[in-house]
Structure 1
Amino acid sequence: MHKKDHTMAAAQDTRRKSEDGLWETVKVIIQALLIAFVVRTFFYQPFNIPSASMYPTLKVGDYLFVSKLSYGYGKYSFNFSLGMFGKELVSCCPIDFPGRVVLADTPERGDVAVFKLPTDTDIDYIKRVIGLPGDRVQMRDGILFINGQAVKKERIEDFMDLSERGLSAPVAQFQETLPNGVTYHVLDTEPMGEADNTEEYVVPEGHYFMMGDNRDNSQDSRYMNRVGYVPIENFVGRADIIFFSVSPDASLFEVWRWPFVVRWSRFFNLI
């Protein structure tokens, strides 16, 4: 074989290896994207916290994963519409859960869950499950009552975080313990606030009563004309873990600011 032929063969071999390497890279990227799509669609969806209604549990700037498998799949579990999760499913589902495929547990008292706002399903809300179907829920002088019994509420140290937007003074903080033993902290920024005394709400079958932990700064099921009772089909999933967190005035994409604005201590905190 002539020297020229050797050169051409070597060049073709190099080009073929380069093309093979490029195709392998493309395949890896496609596979990674497909895996990410499947995980996000069927298992875990990321959300970020834009408001202070769940302080001190969740802060503005927290990024968390919501488990879609927790309550099974419903018509709002995906970012696209599937007819089988609509009216056709009513006849094949348990009577308490129309419009939902129950593959796992139902929401439990104390869960922090993402749901579609009943009055505008284009909006996602995140609150804590307080009332289950059939429960009677009421606020009396800032005390939560479930089925006529006061929920245990203990005063603990004030909540104070000067890095938070608009927080310039200590806020009264309490620990609540629900009847099933779930404990969490709530804030009371305004003694005798407008929703500290309410009527008694009776949660309909197939619905849940949701409340924010920042009680005086949360638009939740206490406001019937805005949120009200949340139907089971509106649940997207249960918030499980905080995977990233930055200060309110920062952005996830401002990588150059991370050393100064990232809340490292909140990484991988269970909710």
Structure 2
Amino acid sequence: MPSPDPEQPAGEPSSRRGRPPEPICEEAGTAHRTWLEPVRFRLTASGLTLDDLVSRSGYSKTRLSELLRGKGYYSGWEITYSVIRALGIPVDPVRRLWTAAALEAEKDPAWIRSRISDVQPLGSDEQPVAHLGLTQAMWQPYTAYAQAFLQTERRAQQLVAQTFDILWLTWNEATLSPHTPRYAWQLLRSRVHAATAKRPDGRPDLRPAAFSTASQAQIWDLAKRLAQIDLLAQFFDTITRLPADQMDITVLRNLCGVAPPAVPGIVGLSPAIVHSLERHARGALRQLRTNTDSQE
């Protein structure tokens, strides 16, 4: 497989500017887009043309165009690897995201292992120290938040792992943002809510979380337990009517059991703003529940 041109570092634009890639095909799955969108963004930001990518990767323009659009058969790891190496993109997170998307495309695990083993990596990627620190610090609260909406710990952990891989791929953008923890939190919550079941009005459906709370699990009387679940489901449903930041803080505090001092660091907002949002959320919840009760 041809290696990137050593005379022109990845990310250094050529003197020509080609057209941006055509849009991603509608047939491309959600997991496929997870790694494809950052790759397309990096190509556009680099200023490289498709011809540049042809010379760097060794693959034809047609093959590369199909990969960048997610068109046709799911792209093998060898061509994907050649593109991300040419663009100077970290290999490890893309390989994990590529694998998840291959499973989404119903590729056999043996096919996936074979495609990966066909490529001899040139070395492992060095994870940014700050990214590693953020991952270690936020893994638990991010997973708790995701599990509140997705219910199962396995789904939550998979989504959080993918979120941190995407964050690694977009780390330059994250560190250039006004506040990196806020950038990371917004990435996490957008992916959680995209994967969450929705109510008819588009709100996330948080009601199933009522079945997994510790309080109702300790009630042995079935009638009382069902009554408690019903009350909790109504409360959780009311939470989703709050503005986004107020809802996030309420979920972290009430469903995830996060201590107040830890919340600002998780959502990437100042303690004063979080305190104000939580106070407004409590008032809004009281008003919403009063309005709901009066309509019944």
Bin the TM-score by the shorter chain. under 0.3
- Looking at CA atoms only, which structure, 1 or 2, has the larger radius of gyration? 1
Higher percent of residues as strand: 1
Taking structure 2 as the reference length, the TM-score comes to: 0.24
What TM-score, normalized to structure 1?
0.26
Work out which structure has the larger RCO, using CA pairs closer than 8 Å and 6 or more positions apart in sequence: 1
